[in-house]
Amino acid sequence: MSVALFTAVSGLGNFQTMLDVVSNNIANVNTTGYKSSRTNFQEMLSQTQLPSSRPTDGRGGRNPIQTGLGSTVAAIDRVFTQGALEQTGITTDLAITGDGFFIVDQGSIKSYTRNGNFSVDTEGYLVDSKGLYVQGWPAADGVVDTDTGLDRVHIPLGEQMIAKATERVDMGGNLDAGQAIYSAGPPETGGRFATEITIFDSLGEEYRVPVTFTKVAASGTAASSWDWSADLNGTNVGSGTVSYNSDGFFDLANSTGAPTVSLTPTNGGSPLSVNLNFEGTSSFVTDGEYSILPSYQDGFSAGTLLSFDISQTGVITGRFTNGQLRDLGQIAMAFFTNPKGLQHTQDGLFIESGNSGVPQVGQPASGPRGQLTPGALEMSNVDLTSEFSKMILAQRAFQANSRVITTMDEILTEVNNLKR
């Protein structure tokens, strides 16, 4: 009779554990990045009262007679299903869509979390709500090398970007091939068009240089040729001829003169020698319409890091007051073959265990790792309807096991009364 008593006691303990798990899930229903847990039970050892027997010539086989000895908790598993995303609009809030974990530096131990509630501390480092450093790859001169080791992600708001002198200007657009050879007149006739390029010296000073294109007689095998002249404050700083073939495309072989704008700044900056690239220009008939403009130049003035954006792949791009964009770093993500094997520590953090597998670190949205959703947080994946249902089941099961104990108590009382 004591077997039934202790069997019921095991049930009470197990369903108390189930209620503990359910209550923790409900308590974390609004915890960012929280993953719910579930309780799995299994039967304990059975007491064999009579073993099985094989069939014989005169009698068939017999199944064993066994009595169960209660239940036990087989496992308490984490459920790593996707939680809903809450849009916050905060740049440093990040949510993972798919598999993977953020990596934070907890002293000598790397910890892993789904909670992307990050911010930038006073030194410009990206940290979580407990001040742990988010791990990734810092950029060097705007280039991120993901083959290097992990380090703290640095976002130095207010940092200065030094000026860069212009070395190259790409020209694009069209010069009207239908125009006649230019004649100053009077009256003025033929093709002539003026545009403007912007360049910077080594100190970041800006120069707006007018460039004039004049239709001239084609030489060699060119179908169309234009003289160009760059003039700044009445001084010629560059000139040459750009030619086009019969298909209207740039003809390098028949173009003459060094495509260079050269000037010496009066502010103490280094002399400028800017290469003009005409490969992106053309000369088609456009009935008097011109569209030739600079399409790119590689110089800029000094600037200050004003803001930043984070992409779905974790690349942090800084925006400077001089209009330049520069990569500041990239956030790393870790993937585990068995995330249920991770060991929970505190504050929603996990650490590697012997059954989780080693972290497969890489860029977000690469391999098995999910992508990031900037400006959002992943909410808890706790389903209150399911948790309330489990709570009712645990309560009823607890009550049923307690009834067994009450019944056994009454039976033992009757046994004690047999001597009377």
3-state secondary structure 93-155: EEEEECCCEEEEEECCEEEEECCCECEECCCCEEECCCCCEEEEEEEECCEECCCCCCEECEC
Would you give the distance in Å from CA 389 to the centre of its chain? 37
For residues 124 and 115, is the Cβ–Cβ distance under 8 A?
A: no
Q: How far apart (Å, rounded) are the C-alpha atoms in residues 228 and 226? A: 6
User: What angle separates helix 2-27 from helix 384-416, to the nearest 10 degrees?
Assistant: 160
List the structure tokens of 308. Answer: 């930043």
List the structure tokens of 131. Answer: 């001040």
Q: How far apart (Å, rounded) are the C-alpha atoms in residues 273 and 10? A: 86
Q: Which residues contact 296 (CB under 8 A, 6 or more apart)?
A: 168, 169, 170
Residue labelled with tokens 């690239």? 277
**pTM, entire model:** 0.80
DSSP assignment of 213-268? EEEE---TT-SEEEEEEEEETTEEEEEEEEEE-TTSBEEEEEEES--EEEE--SSS
pLDDT (tens digit per residue) in 353-366: 999 999 999 999 99
| Kind and range of the H or E run holding 309 | strand 303-310
Residue 8 has pLDDT above 90, yes or no: no
The pLDDT score that the predictor gives to residue 264 is: 94
The pLDDT score that the predictor gives to residue 246 is: 94
The pLDDT score that the predictor gives to residue 1 is: 56
Q: How large is the average pLDDT for residues 91-108?
A: 93
Residue 181 has pLDDT above 80, yes or no: yes
Using pLDDT thresholds of 50, 70 and 90, give the confidence band for residue 420: low
Handedness of CA 214, 216, 222, 223 (dihedral sign): positive
Mean pLDDT score across all residues of the chain: 92
Residue 284 has pLDDT above 90, yes or no: yes
User: Of the given ranges (96-110, 266-280, 373-387), which has the lowest mean pLDDT?
Assistant: 96-110
The pLDDT score that the predictor gives to residue 403 is: 85
pLDDT (tens digit per residue) in 306-348: 999 999 999 999 999 999 999 999 999 999 999 999 999 888 8
User: Of the given ranges (46-50, 104-108, 193-197), which has the lowest mean pLDDT?
Assistant: 46-50
Q: Is 357 helix (H, G, I), strand (E, B) or coil?
A: coil
Q: How far apart (Å, rounded) are the C-alpha atoms in residues 15 and 401? A: 9
Q: How large is the average pLDDT for residues 112-135?
A: 95
Q: Count the neighbouring beta carbons within 10 Å of the beta carbon of residue 201.
A: 25
The pLDDT score that the predictor gives to residue 408 is: 79
Residue 157 has pLDDT above 90, yes or no: yes
Q: Which domains does the chain have, with CATH numbers?
A: 2-80+381-419 (no CATH), 88-161+305-377 (no CATH), 168-297 (2.60.98.20)
The pLDDT score that the predictor gives to residue 222 is: 94
The pLDDT score that the predictor gives to residue 53 is: 84
Q: Which residues contact 59 (CB under 8 A, 6 or more apart)?
A: none
For residues 301 and 104, is the Cβ–Cβ distance under 8 A?
A: no
In DSSP terms, 66 is beta-bridged to: 48
List the structure tokens of 340. Answer: 């249920």
Q: How large is the average pLDDT for residues 137-165?
A: 93
Q: How large is the average pLDDT for residues 128-153?
A: 94
Residue 386 has pLDDT above 60, yes or no: yes
Phi, psi of 222 (to 5 degrees): -65, 145
Q: Which residues contact 342 (CB under 8 A, 6 or more apart)?
A: 78, 112, 336, 350, 351, 352, 353, 356
Using pLDDT thresholds of 50, 70 and 90, give the confidence band for residue 101: very high
**Residue 239: closest CA among 272, 211, 209:** 211
With a pLDDT cut of 70, the percent of the chain lying above it is 99
pLDDT (tens digit per residue) in 200-236: 999 999 999 999 999 999 989 999 999 999 999 999 9
Q: How large is the average pLDDT for residues 394-403?
A: 87
Distances (CA, A) of 145 to 58, 102, 333: 80, 18, 15
Distances (CA, A) of 334 to 251, 331, 374, 411: 52, 10, 18, 58
Using pLDDT thresholds of 50, 70 and 90, give the confidence band for residue 12: confident
